[in-house]
Amino acid sequence: TPPEHIRNFCIIAHIDHGKSTLADRMLQLTGVVEERAMRAQYLDRMDIERERGITIKAQNVRLPWRLGDQDHVLHLIDTPGHVDFTYEVSRALEACEGAILLVDAAQGIEAQTLANLYLALEKDLHIIPVLNKIDLPAADPDKYSAELANIIGCQPSDVLRVSAKTGEGVSDLIDEVVRQVPAPVGDGDGPARALIFDSVYDTYRGVVTYIRVVDGKISPRERIKMMSTGATHELLEVGIISPEPKATKGLGVGEVGYLITGVKDVRQSKVGDTVTSERRGAPEPLAGYREPQPMVFSGLYPMDGSDYPDLREALDKLRLNDAALSYEPETSVALGFGFRCGFLGLLHLEITRDRLEREFGLELISTAPNVVYQVFLEDGTELVVTNPSDWPTGGKIAEVHEPISKVTVIAPSEFIGAIMELCQGKRGQLLGMDYLSEDRVELRYQLPLAEIIFDFFDSLKSRTRGYASLDYEESGEQASELVKVDILLQGEAVDAFSAIVHKDSAYSYGNRMATRLRELIPRQQFEVPIQAAIGSRIIARETIRAIRKDVLAKCYGGDISRKRKLLEKQKEGKKRMKTVGRVEVPQEAFVAALSTE
């Protein structure tokens, strides 16, 4: 297809505003999927995506569309909607010339959508504002058209209105995509350059890499080169998705499709990288490639120590499909053998944990998440700490740097006070505030990333009765007064409970953990002190009093079978115990103490 008849676009929308439903309607209207083959959310392929209702991996599809008497080829590029995947969103946007900004007509724009809109505007994408769900009785299209017009600087009458559910307005919307989105431009005769905007591991075919050709042509049976690493691969297949994969004779300027090389690991096919041909390589890659950087770390341990090899195998498998996941073995005195894992953010952590438990049947304990700290010692050495147990001991720390982020919250204006109070309590600094409409406000804060990953989102939701939406992006680092708090049982530090916190929260963390553990750990034959300490300084203390654990005393001699039963029961209980020094701690205590509530 000549580039002038190609349109590449994506849909920017908040979770649940109807992106998948709209994509489904487009598949139907363009005749790509027959009515009876249609299943809800055709493009969300992974089960877990369907259950959680979020799109993790970008999918793309080629749609034929006739406007007047001209045939066109449209490529819909599906973008992940969540904050943790901003980098993937930004690469997917890079593959488009236009974006549909899809907003629920009963809810208005949300923080993540706004953030993605700004990303799209930065990349000079043409924006088509659209209100969805106009069939809902609660829809207020006049109010939200005005809001959208105000944000992107157009007329309220430019905002299209559709119902992805009934199909109303969707055909007109596709016409507008053809009319408004610019055609791709590129050098058709130059050396090949294609942008990788997604890659997924497929059990049967190996890694499937999604590309958008910018210059030249990608043809099957030639060797290609990944420009970030210089690695070369033989091309086994080049094709398009419509909506199932179909091999083609090649992809030209502006075209979107996939390629298969037989590699088995997505890390050899990195999102953001440039593909060129080996024989006639491009001198310069496309701009903006970045290695995925883990921002949040947590220890993952099998509940049952004998599952450790299974956990390793499961992680190896997940990594085939997730270039951003990193892990290395670690041991904890309290939890045994496990892995220190790095994630892009909290959601990435949760999804990974969820998949490990669901798809691989593992039961896991995860330690409290932490960010990456840069520690400068007085003797001039610099440490990168991703694990509280690597925190230097002794008083030789000169300075500690922690990552900070820019946070955007959108909420009804009645919650301004509650949100400000929350952000202030988390060491936040107000950067600005704007009214989006009469009763909705956007607040911008700078907050340490460590404060956000802990329980910020949950607190925000509960303080705003679920009405606030949140987005954050990394924005450098700052020097902070941070300390490591240890939790000691009978004088012995339990590594799984150590945390790096700001010095002003050290006491409350220590106190909270000590109180919680006093309730969770059963009485033992001896007294057990629980202490929180910074180095050798004790900052909180609780005590579990001793009991004489004579269970048989209840049996008044007589009934021998009852006695045996009790003893059996006690033994059963022991199996689920971990021992810290002489103290027996039930497995559940670790799980409960480490949960953020």
- Shortest Å, Cβ 17 to ligand GTP: 5
Evaluate whether 223 touches 277 at the Cβ level (below 8 Å). Answer: yes
Residue 123: exposed, middle, or buried by beta-carbon count in 10 A (0-12, 13-18, 19+)? Answer: middle
CA 538 to chain centre: 37
- Shortest Å, Cβ 156 to ligand GTP: 20
The reply to whether 19 sits in an annotated binding site is yes
Nearest alpha-carbon partner for 173 in 101, 243, 107:
101
The reply to whether 211 sits in an annotated binding site is no
Q: What are phi and psi of 419, to 5 degrees?
A: -70, -40
Task: Give the Cβ contact number of residue 48 at 10 Å.
Answer: 14
- Shortest Å, Cβ 270 to ligand GTP: 24
Which residues partner with 384 through β-bridges?
374
What is the four-CA torsion angle of 136, 141, 143, 147, rounded to 10 degrees?
120
The reply to whether 16 sits in an annotated binding site is yes
The reply to whether 21 sits in an annotated binding site is yes
Q: Give the three-state DSSP class for 21.
A: helix
Q: Which is nearer to ligand GTP, 135 or 265 (CB)?
A: 135
Name the token pair of 597.
């509530």
Evaluate whether 552 touches 563 at the Cβ level (below 8 Å). Answer: yes
Which residues partner with 76 through β-bridges?
9, 61
Nearest alpha-carbon partner for 266 in 322, 213, 215, 216:
322
- Shortest Å, Cβ 128 to ligand GTP: 16
Q: Which is nearer to ligand GTP, 132 or 386 (CB)?
A: 132
- Shortest Å, Cβ 338 to ligand GTP: 31
State the Cα–Cα distance between residues 311 and 176, nearest whole angstrom.
49
Place of tokens 């959108």: 410
- Shortest Å, Cβ 25 to ligand GTP: 9
Q: What is the DSSP string of 451-474?
A: HHHHHHHHHHHHHTTT--EEEEEE
Q: Give the three-state DSSP class for 551.
A: helix
Q: Which is nearer to ligand GTP, 197 or 509 (CB)?
A: 197
State the Cα–Cα distance between residues 271 and 260, nearest whole angstrom.
15
Q: Which is nearer to ligand GTP, 164 or 593 (CB)?
A: 164
- Shortest Å, Cβ 104 to ligand GTP: 8
- Shortest Å, Cβ 11 to ligand GTP: 8
Applying CB under 6 A, the residues found at the interface with ligand GTP are 13, 15-21, 41, 53-55, 81, 132-133, 135-136, 163-165
The reply to whether 18 sits in an annotated binding site is yes
Q: Which is nearer to ligand GTP, 13 or 493 (CB)?
A: 13
Q: Which is nearer to ligand GTP, 13 or 501 (CB)?
A: 13
State the Cα–Cα distance between residues 263 and 213, nearest whole angstrom.
20
Positive or negative, the CA dihedral 466, 467, 472, 477 is: negative
Q: Which is nearer to ligand GTP, 53 or 329 (CB)?
A: 53
- Shortest Å, Cβ 536 to ligand GTP: 50
State the Cα–Cα distance between residues 175 and 63, nearest whole angstrom.
12
Q: Which is nearer to ligand GTP, 107 or 446 (CB)?
A: 107
Q: Which is nearer to ligand GTP, 337 or 467 (CB)?
A: 467
Binding residue ranges for GTP = 16-21, 132-135
